[in-house]
Structure 1
Amino acid sequence: MNAYTLLPFIVLIAAMFLMTRSAKKKQQQAANMRNEMQPGSGVRTIGGMYATVKEVNEDTVLLDAGPGVDLLFAKNAIGAVLTDEEYNRIVHGIEHDLKSDAGLVPDDASSLTESDESDGSAAATADDKIDLGKKDSAEHGADAIQAAEDKAAAAEAKAEDESKKTDGDSDAK
């Protein structure tokens, strides 16, 4: 046989060897991760549920999914064992990275308008009313009522003028 005819078979066997080797390595890492689980650690199941390990047995794991909710899973159903920071970030929304808090925008704008003065003038200005160009209804209520009455009178006058106008065709009928 020629070497060129054996080359595709050799390449195919080498590729299969490399693929099975990497798959075995991943399976070994997953088995080690599942064996290192301890009560109190956060986990994610292969179904996507987050819970806390309550008890670890030979082939099963008892998970605490919430107050009064204990679930029994097979060890193979555990997809990942999470670090405490990652579990708290995902489940509780708690961030532990204090460096990232410096660049966050506050929920309200109070910190953006406060001055560094400690005499309290910033607090006094916060209580003052801000004129946004709107008329206060208590002060200008009479003006608004008068304008509404004028519009109503103009509409009535227009309606009367239209009713007085006659169409030439209406007389002929």
Structure 2
Amino acid sequence: MSIVTLLPLVLIVGVMFMMTRSAKNKQRQASEMRSQMEPGTGVRTIGGMYAVVKEVNDETVLLELTDGVHAHFAKNAIGAVLAEEEFNRIVHGIEPEEIETESDGIEGEDGDVTADAATGDAAPKDDADDSGEQRIDLSKTEDAPGQDDSDSTSK
């Protein structure tokens, strides 16, 4: 056999070896990432759901999806373990520099930042406040004005 006929076979075997090696490295990294999970850590599932780890078992993880809503997931369903800053940025919309400025005092009348009385969030001052326009509150509350308990969709 000549070297010309053996070269493609050697090349194919080499490519297959490199592919299996990279797949094993990815599996090892995923296993290490999942072993870093501990209660209080923010995670993203492979389905794209963000949650906080409440309990870690041998094969499952108890996640808190929102306040009081818990669900069991298989460990291999965790796609990423997120740093606290990244989790807050994605889920709560809090940028890392906003965390530092929220602890500072909020500027008063002369500044261009106002505080939302309900949440304490700082927001840019809007000129619409002086024009007499009313702001619409889109938060869901039980005592929302103008809502009744009857089903308005059935006729």
TM-score under structure 1 length normalisation:
0.57
* SS class of match (1:86): helix
User: Hey, what's the Cα distance between the residues in 1 that align with 2:97 and 2:13?
Assistant: 48
Would you say 1:27 and 2:27 are equivalent positions?
yes
User: Hey, what's the Cα distance between the residues in 2 that align with 1:25 and 1:97?
Assistant: 35
User: Hey, what's the Cα distance between the residues in 1 that align with 2:23 and 2:44?
Assistant: 21
User: Hey, what's the Cα distance between the residues in 1 that align with 2:90 and 2:22?
Assistant: 30
Once the two structures are superposed, what CA deviation does each residue of 1:37-67 show, in whole Å capped at 9, x if it has no partner? 1000000000000000000000000000011
Amino acid at match of 2:47: G
Identify the residue that residue 85 of structure 2 maps to in structure 1: 85
Would you say 1:107 and 2:121 are equivalent positions?
no
Alpha-carbon distance, 1:68 to partner: 1.5
User: Hey, what's the Cα distance between the residues in 1 that align with 2:81 and 2:25?
Assistant: 17
Equivalent runs, 1:6-155 vs 2, <5 Å:
6-97=6-97, 107-108=124-125
Alpha-carbon distance, 1:35 to partner: 1.1
Residues 14 and 83 from structure 1, CA distance in 2 versus in 1: closer, same or farther, beyond 3 angstroms?
A: same
Identify the residue that residue 171 of structure 1 maps to in structure 2: none
Amino acid at match of 1:74: A
Identity level (%): 61
5+ residue gaps, structure 1, are: 111-126, 128-173
Once the two structures are superposed, what CA deviation does each residue of 1:2-58 show, in whole Å capped at 9, x if it has no partner? 110010010011011111101110110000111111000000000000000000000
Alpha-carbon distance, 1:109 to partner: 6.6
Identify the residue that residue 145 of structure 2 maps to in structure 1: none
5+ residue gaps, structure 2, are: 102-122, 131-155
Amino acid at match of 2:58: E
**Structure with the larger strand share:** 2
* SS class of match (1:97): helix
* SS class of match (1:70): strand
